[in-house]
Homo-oligomer: A and B are copies of this chain.
Amino acid sequence: MDIQIRSIVNSSIYLLCGLLMFAVSLNVVADADPLPSWNQGATRASIIEFVSAVTDKSKATYVPPAERIATFDNDGTLWSERPVYFQLLFAIDRVKALAPKHPEWKITQPFKAVLENDMDALADAGEEGLLKLVMATHAGNTTEEFARIVKDWLANARHPRFKRPYNELVFQPMLELLDYLRANGFKTFIVSGGGIEFMRPWVEQVYGIPPEQVIGSSIKTTFELREGKPVLVRLPEINFIDDKAGKPVGINQHIGRRPIAAFGNSDGDLQMLQWTAAGNGKRFMLLVHHTDEQREYAYDKDSHIGKLDKGLTEAATGNWTVVDMKKDWKVIYPFEIR
């Protein structure tokens, strides 16, 4: 075929396919409910109204795909965080696994408390104690070794109440929301107080969020040549705490654009939602309110974990969406409908 003719034919085929696929996609959107686990009501409607506002080119609220950045907290927003943050349970299990190599832990806090299952003594150890736990269990290995340890733990550990692997305790309605946003051209990020390297080994498979779209707390690493082979070694030194006022800082550091939608569940997410709300144009801020003792947990302003107090106040004045888990969600976990 002559090159020019071939080029015209190619262009025509592209155009034809574009039109056909556009028609098909209209059908698909009209057919399928993108949020089947969300009950009808104001919460669900606010999500759909927002997505429609920023994706409809005929509206003044339209946002180009490159700027459709959505950030999600993890603990309590995408998966459960009770009885305590799952990463703390990981650290506790690691202490027990490593204890034979550390006889001194039998008489040293907070390790003694962990080994004796003394949760009161562990609570007494406070933030400093937790930091010691994290450093003893998260550092000292290479990035590749640590990823393997996390994967092994997830494969074997079970949640005390639900008796399931922790990464099955993710919220089905939020999985649908992630898919729905991505289907509408959004780039979805995790912005969590949890460890960045604790999340990366599993979130791609579970949430469809690739490692390069995960922001979290971190310890420092250093580049070394070990027998000529380069490795990154994890050091017992805090690099960044991605919580509260750290979340907008982490977002700026990793993404370099302001999100147009942000999703959280606690006062640790407040500044991320404020930062998101303060941008120009249409914005969407959502808080998951844990109101379902039966199917999950119920807690807010009096909770040590996932405390939600100021967030509820700002949500009311700032017109943020608040999910009432009990009322808004048909199901909580994916295994309920499998």
The answer to whether A257 has its CB under 8 Å from any CB of chain B is yes
Across the interface, A245 reaches (CB within 8 A) one of B27, B196, B222, namely B222
A257 lies within 8 A of B222 (CB): no
Which one, B197, B212, B218, contacts A187 given CB within 8 A? Answer: B212
**Chain A residues touching B, range:** 35 or more
Tell me, yes or no, whether A252 is within 8 Å of chain B by CB: yes
The segment from A14-22, A73-81, A127-135 that touches chain B is A14-22
Chain B residues within 8 Å of A200, by CB: 256
> A256 to B239, alpha carbons, bound, how many Å?
15
A141-152 vs B, Cβ < 8 Å mask (1 yes, 0 no)? 001000000000
Specify how many copies of this chain sit in the oligomer: 2
Q: Are B245 and A223 in contact (CB under 8 A)?
A: yes
How close is A258's CB to chain B, nearest CB, in angstroms?
9
Q: Give the complex CA separation of A225 and B254 in angstroms.
A: 21
A34 at interface (Cβ–Cβ under 8 A)?
no
Contact pick for A20, options B17, B31, B274, CB 8 Å: B17
CB pair A31–B13 under 8 Å, yes or no, is no
Contacts A31-B3, A200-B256, A222-B245; A20 near B13 (Cβ below 8 A):
yes
Chief secondary structure at chain A's binding surface: helix
Given contacts A218-B253, A230-B248, A252-B221, contact A21 B28 (CB under 8 A): no
CB distance from A63 to the nearest CB of B (A): 14
A249 close to B (CB within 8 Å): yes
Can you name the residue of chain B whose Cβ is closest to the Cβ of A21? B17
Q: Would A275 and B196 be within 8 Å (CB), given that A10-B24, A10-B28, A20-B17 are in contact?
A: no
Report the Cα distance A257→B143, complex, angstroms.
10
A212/B256 contact (C-beta < 8 A), A13-B24, A27-B6, A278-B230 known: yes
Interface residue? A271 (CB, 8 A) = yes
Extra pairs beyond A13-B21, A214-B256, A230-B271 (11, CB < 8 Å)? A3-B31, A13-B20, A13-B24, A17-B17, A197-B256, A211-B256, A212-B256, A212-B257, A223-B246, A223-B248, A230-B274
